[in-house]
Amino acid sequence: PPPPLYIITPTYRRPEQLAELTRLGYTLKHVVNLYWLVIEDAEEPTPQVTKLLQKINVPFSHLVAQMPAKYRKNKVKPRGVSNRNRGLEWIRANASDGVLYFADDDNTYDVEIFDEMRYTKKVSMWPVGLITKFGVSSPIVKNGTVVGFYDGWIGGRKYPVDMASFSVSVRFLLSRPNASMPYKPGYEEDGFLKSLSPLKLTEIELLASNCTEILVWHTQSKKNPNAMSLDMGKYNNTNLV
């Protein structure tokens, strides 16, 4: 069998949650030897989410990792950080080879990217579409290596990339026992990738045909302010359970 893929998906309760996880789950179902770590930013797992994961039937663990209270009151929050660090902790405890990837619940993934990232030796990268006013974020490639980054917001980052734009080999993560994601809005990717150092730009493996194709999109669902999710209350005068 090919090397295992560990997909870390942070998620949280809101009206769109079950819809997002349905779309992502049935995408992941097309990929072999994949283990889905669904990690809720919540005190307790949402039963409707567990039920959905069982129904989709991709091998999974349903974990929780709530955002620390001190960040919850901030206007700009470190979204999904506690969840992703919980995923890294799970991998350190349970995995020995293969590749990990942070797949937010609202993005759109071409299944091709999963079979490309599977062979990552250290860190792989590729472009992400529909992000910032630039419309795309991508490593800039010359003669097969990264020479810079194209991104709508550089922000003094060494790695101005999106969460959806890179994968990391499990062995490489395990060789960096202190690697983790910082609770620093805007700098989560940069902080995590820096925590994997030493890593040379020339060692970054470029996927999606040398970063000439978009296989991942940073889609965002429009919020319906009137909607409630099945776990949030009763739908009166309907047959919904």
Instruction: State the residues that interact with ligand UDP by CB under 6 A.
Output: 10-12, 41, 67, 77, 79-80, 83, 104-106, 220
Q: Which is nearer to Mn ion, 86 or 218 (CB)?
A: 218
The active-site residue, picked from 189, 203, 205, 213, is 189
Minimum distance, C-beta of residue 96 to ligand UDP, in the bound complex (Å): 26
In whole angstroms, give the CA distance from residue 22 to residue 62.
15
Task: For Mn ion, give the closer residue by CB, 40 or 104.
Answer: 104
Total binding residues toward Mn ion, as defined by CB under 5 A = 2
State yes or no: cis peptide before 78, omega within 30 of 0. Answer: no
DSSP output for 175-213: T-TT----S-TT-HHHHHHHTT-S--GGGPEEHHHHHTS
- The C-alpha atoms of residue 188 and residue 88 are separated, in whole angstroms, by 14
Binding site partner of 137, from ligand UDP, Mn ion, none, Cβ cut-off 5-8 A by kind:
none
Question: Could you tell me which of 89, 93, 111 has the C-alpha nearest to residue 23?
Answer: 111
Q: Among all residues, whose Cβ is closest to ligand UDP?
A: 80
- Helix 17-28, helix 47-56: angle, nearest 10: 20
12 binds, among ligand UDP, Mn ion, none (CB under 5 to 8 A by kind): ligand UDP
Residues 6+ apart with CB under 8 A from 98: 3, 4, 5, 6, 118, 169, 170
In the bound complex, what is the minimum distance in angstroms from residue 216's beta carbon to Mn ion? 12
Q: Please, what's the b/e burial string for 89-112 (b: 16 or more CB within 10 A of its CB; e: otherwise)? A: ebbeeebeebbbbbbbbbbbbeee
| Annotation marks residue 116 as catalytic | no
Minimal distance in Å, beta carbon 209 to ligand UDP? 25
Element holding 72 (H helix, E strand): helix 69-72
As measured in angstroms, the least distance from the Cβ of 106 to Mn ion is 4
Query: Contact between 106 and Mn ion (CB under 5 A)?
Result: yes
**20 binding Mn ion? (CB under 5 A):** no
d(CA 7, CA 163): 12
Among ligand UDP, Mn ion, none, residue 80 binds (CB under 5-8 Å by kind):
ligand UDP
- Minimum Å gap between C-beta 160 and ligand UDP is 14
188 binds Mn ion (CB under 5 A): no
Interacting partner of 10 out of Mn ion, ligand UDP, none (Cβ under 5 to 8 A depending on kind): ligand UDP
Which residues would be at the binding site for Mn ion (CB under 5 A)? 104, 106
Active site residues: 189
